[in-house]
Amino acid sequence: MTHREDKRTPLPGDSAVIGAIEAGGTKFVCGIGSPDGEIHDTISFPTGKPEETLAQAIDYFAGRGVQAIGVGSFGPIDLRLGSGTYGFVTTTPKAGWANFDFLGTLRRSFDVPYGWDTDVNAAAYGEAIWGAARGLDSCVYYTIGTGVGVGVYAEGRLLHGLLHSEGGHLRLRRHPDDPFAGSCPYHGDCLEGMASGPALQARWGVPGHELAPDHPAWEIEAHYIAESVAAAVLLLSPRRIILGGGVMQQEHLLPLIRQRAAASLNGYVAASELAEGLGEYIVAPGLGTQSGLRGALALGIRALEREPAGLLPQSGL
């Protein structure tokens, strides 16, 4: 069933109409926004078969006069401009979505500029512009939920390379009291295999939200996330690390991660941001649950302004 949030306030008369899609492996969220960063209307629906799911998104945007669309998608996806499969979802295990031409499907309905990136890069971008990393030139965003993804924003750019970050599949030092083999079908005990929502349920037999705050699950969970966070500090040296996603809705988890990350770094990185318990360094999303959608909006705004991929326009976006 489609769930619509009725936020149909009038758009400013002199404002462009920007479409935004946060394409998650479980749920799609689409929105209409404006260049000031405001989302004026949203709709969400389950992620089903690709043709049916994109048809719902296309129906939502039809007749609204969108002038650009930004998409933050689950992956892996092809971000290489000039590639024959640019705009495709590629090797995902999600049934029906492998090698699917996501952007091409949208383009057949809307001949507008497109912003295209991973869902976690979009979230990092949104947080850099309007959220917890506003005013900073770098941040790393984690989403820890059904899967684990990592988005990297560095020196005013979203980080791309051979592909895009797959930090959710880093192999980590195991917790000494954890015999769980891991749930990732590719790597077993990578970060996603040990710390995602499905990993929590497979290890303990119930969803994470049903575990008491003092359950030993959370010390183990904090260990794996903190191991990855410490690695990100040492490898990328971001000015802020933001932890989002469904698993992070457990309020007692963030302080445990800060403690574990500080212990792992052991005072090696001499930066004032790391000196006081990491409370202002490892943080929750400033945009709450809208990081991904607001980031997709920012990708659409950037596409409309025809800025080079990965760069912030001079206007501050």
- Structural domain contains residue 11: yes
| Judgement on whether residues 279 and 295 belong to the same structural domain of the protein | no
Gap between the Cα atoms of 121 and 70, Å rounded = 12
For residues 12 and 68, which has the higher predicted lDDT (pLDDT)? 68
Q: Which of 293, 259, 288, 75 is nearest to 165 (CA)?
A: 75
> Do 38 and 91 have their domain in common?
yes
**183 is a domain residue:** yes
Contact residues for 94 (Cβ-Cβ < 8 A; gap 6+): 25, 47, 74
Instruction: Quickly count helices (H) and strands (E) in the chain.
Output: 8, 13
pLDDT score of 162: 72
- Examine residue 317 and state whether it is found in any structural domain, yes or no: no
Cα 31 from Cα 18, distance rounded (Å)? 8
d(CA 233, CA 185): 27
**What are 5-38's pLDDT values in tens digits?**
333 333 334 479 999 999 998 999 999 999 999 9
Instruction: Say yes or no: 158 and 220 in one domain.
Output: yes
pLDDT attached to residue 259: 96
pLDDT above 50 (res 261): yes
Among 66-80, 84-98, 160-174, the minimum mean pLDDT is found in 160-174
Q: What CATH number does the domain containing 164 carry?
A: 3.30.420.40
| Paired residues of 222 in beta bridges | none
Examine residue 310 and state whether it is found in any structural domain, yes or no: no
311 within a domain of the structure (yes/no): no
**In the prediction, which pLDDT does 47 show?**
96
Look at the chain and report how many structural domains it folds into: 2
| pLDDT score for 317 | 53
Mean per-residue pLDDT over the chain, rounded: 90
The angle at the Cα of 25, spanning 24 to 28, to the nearest 5 degrees, equals 40
Q: Is residue 33 in a domain? A: yes
Q: In this structure, are 277 and 293 located in the same domain?
A: no
Whether 110 and 215 map to the same domain: the answer is: no
Instruction: Identify whether residues 51 and 96 lie together within a single domain.
Output: yes
Report which of residues 7 and 148 the model is more confident about: 148
The answer to whether position 127 is within a domain reads: no
| Residues 27, 44 share a domain | yes
Give the Cα separation of 87 and 59 in Å (integer): 20
Q: Which residues contact 114 (CB under 8 A, 6 or more apart)?
A: 68, 69, 70, 71, 87, 103, 106, 107, 300, 303
Residues 58 and 158 both lie in one domain: no
Range of the domain at 204: 132-284
Q: In this structure, what are the phi and psi dihedrals at residue 86, rounded to the nearest 5 degrees?
A: -55, 135
The pLDDT assigned to 21 comes to 98
Question: Is 160 in the same domain as 264?
Answer: yes
Range with the poorest average pLDDT among 1-15, 54-68, 93-107, 151-165: 1-15
Tell me the HSE value of 77 on the side-chain side, using a 13 A CA sphere: 25
Quote the pLDDT of residue 172.
93
| In a domain? residue 144 | yes
Please give the span between the terminal C-alpha atoms of the chain, in angstroms, as a whole number.
35
Tens digit of each residue's pLDDT (9 = 90 or more) over 302-313: 999 874 333 333
Same domain, 92 and 157: no
Q: Do 138 and 112 fall within a single domain? A: no
Q: Beta strand pairing status for 68-73 and 88-89?
A: unpaired
Say yes or no: 110 and 200 in one domain: no
